[in-house]
Structure 1
Amino acid sequence: MNRNWILLLVALFFLVACTPKVPKRFIQPDELEDILVEYHLAKSMASHDKDNQESSEVLQHLYVNAVLQKYGYTQDDFDSSMVYYYTNADRFQEIYERVAERLENQALILGASEGEIGKFSSLDNDGDTANIWTERRTLSLMPIAPYDKWSFVIDADTTYRKGDRFLMRFMSDYVFQDGSKNTILYVAVTYDNDTTISRNIHFSSSGLTQLNIPEYDAANVKQIRGFFYLKGDRDRSTTTRLLFIDNIQLVRFHQQRFESNDEIEKDSLSSDSL
């Protein structure tokens, strides 16, 4: 066998051998991924079960427990595993990226296709009311740098008009064992006369969040940028603190154009003369 191939095989062997394995007392990565997908779907189902007399919080607890029982784990098993992965942020981020992709494909995360959040879901990026969001629709944040912040930039095109206003909206789900919940959404719209209009909002609960950016009709939109930032303690936490954001939308509304009184009066006279 070629000497270079032998060296390559030896290097691959040591790479695999040196990759840290998850201790057996914790849920293994592939199974945790499956559980987390069903975990979020269960919470979504509970929040939309209008026929049940129990509160949404109680229902979510029951649905999530049913998922854990299906896989043969207790809440303590799940919590301790989440803490382990949380303290190994790189590995945890990889798992949640796959979870987000699977949930995105199913289009069911947190009621994305139902209720209030769904009314703009079918819009394309054209028309008087349009969903112009071109970035990823799903993300997860942890209060550990660099996983505590996610930025976005959207460049305007010819479909934008003077006087457009914007609405940023999304669903959020906090998975916190303890600690305060505080996330900032910042959005800034820059115009071609160098004017910038910015808005920000703090949100600390799961559910639908919306942020309005008012119209400005003195110039054309040049760019929209912003970020999500999950604030946390300076010291690295040993308990799970995770924010899952889904179905992000940025809705653009063209300004309604009404006829002047003179035009309305002129049309009225024309109609009367017929």
Structure 2
Amino acid sequence: MKTKIFVICYLFLIGCSSDKEVPNDIIKQDKMVAVMLDMYLAEGKVNNMRLSRDSSLAIFDVYEDMLYKKHGVIDSVYERSMSYYYDHPDMLETIYESVLDSLNLKQERLKEKAEDPEDDKAEPKKEDEQGKTLEVKKDDAKVEGDKKDNKKE
């Protein structure tokens, strides 16, 4: 009797345990987020071109191939990974949350950049002997230039 209860409890625990280990032939979650983020951005670019459906699909196929190469992913592995994550909705939800957060962050940064045009007029930067980045003000650059001109005379 005790053996039966033990076996039932053991099977119950194994059946309820969440297997978060992703198989080797599946793209890991963090890389999947990066690939999907780029895919959504590419899809948005193509949609903004306002082309016919056939032209949009042809252009997106080119983008898609470039993204697979960029991330070092094969299209069949990507498709298999998407199927795997569809079968594991808790993992897929985590991926989509990360993609959505990243898209929202990009959108906020674009809004900030659009609101603050002074960022485009950033001061030039220069490195010192130790490789540290120094900001160079336009007035300082002019003074240094004037000093060089004075030495030539």
Scaled by the length of structure 1, the TM-score of the pair is 0.31
Cα distance in 2 for residues equivalent to 1:89 and 1:50: 33
Q: SS state of the match for residue 55, structure 1?
A: helix
| CA distance, structure 1, for counterparts of residue 20 and residue 104 of structure 2 | 29
2:65 matches 1:65 = yes
User: 1:85·1:91 contact (CA, 8 Å) conserved in 2?
Assistant: yes
* CA drift at 1:105: 1.5
Residue 215 of structure 1 is matched in structure 2 by none
**Aligned pairs, how many?**
93
Cα-Cα RMSD: 2.9
Bigger Rg, which one: 2
Structure 1 counterpart of 2:81, which letter?
S
- Deviations along 1:2-25, whole A, 9 cap, x unmatched? xxxxxxxxxxxxxxxx75310111
* Alignment partners' CA distance in 2, 1:80 and 1:19: 18
Percent of matched pairs sharing the same residue: 24
Please list every run of 5 or more consecutive structure 2 residues that lacks an aligned counterpart in the other structure: 1-17, 112-153
TM-score, normalised via structure 2 length? 0.53
> Does the 8 A contact of 1:47 with 1:60 survive in 2?
no
**C-alpha separation in 2, matches of 1:34 and 1:94:** 13
Ranges of 4+ aligned residues in structure 1 off by more than 6 Å: none
Query: Offset of 1:65 from its aligned partner?
Result: 1.6
Equivalent position amino acid for 2:102 in 1: R
The answer for the alignment partner of 1:102 in structure 2 is: 102
2:83 corresponds in structure 1 to: 83
Where in structure 2 are the equivalents of 1:1-274 lying within 5 Å?
19-49=19-49, 55-107=55-107
Q: Tell me the distance in 2 between the aligned counterparts of 1:42 and 1:24.
A: 27
Q: Are 1:26 and 1:81, in contact at CA under 8 Å, matched by a contact in 2?
A: yes
Instruction: Give the superposition deviation at 1:50.
Output: 6.2
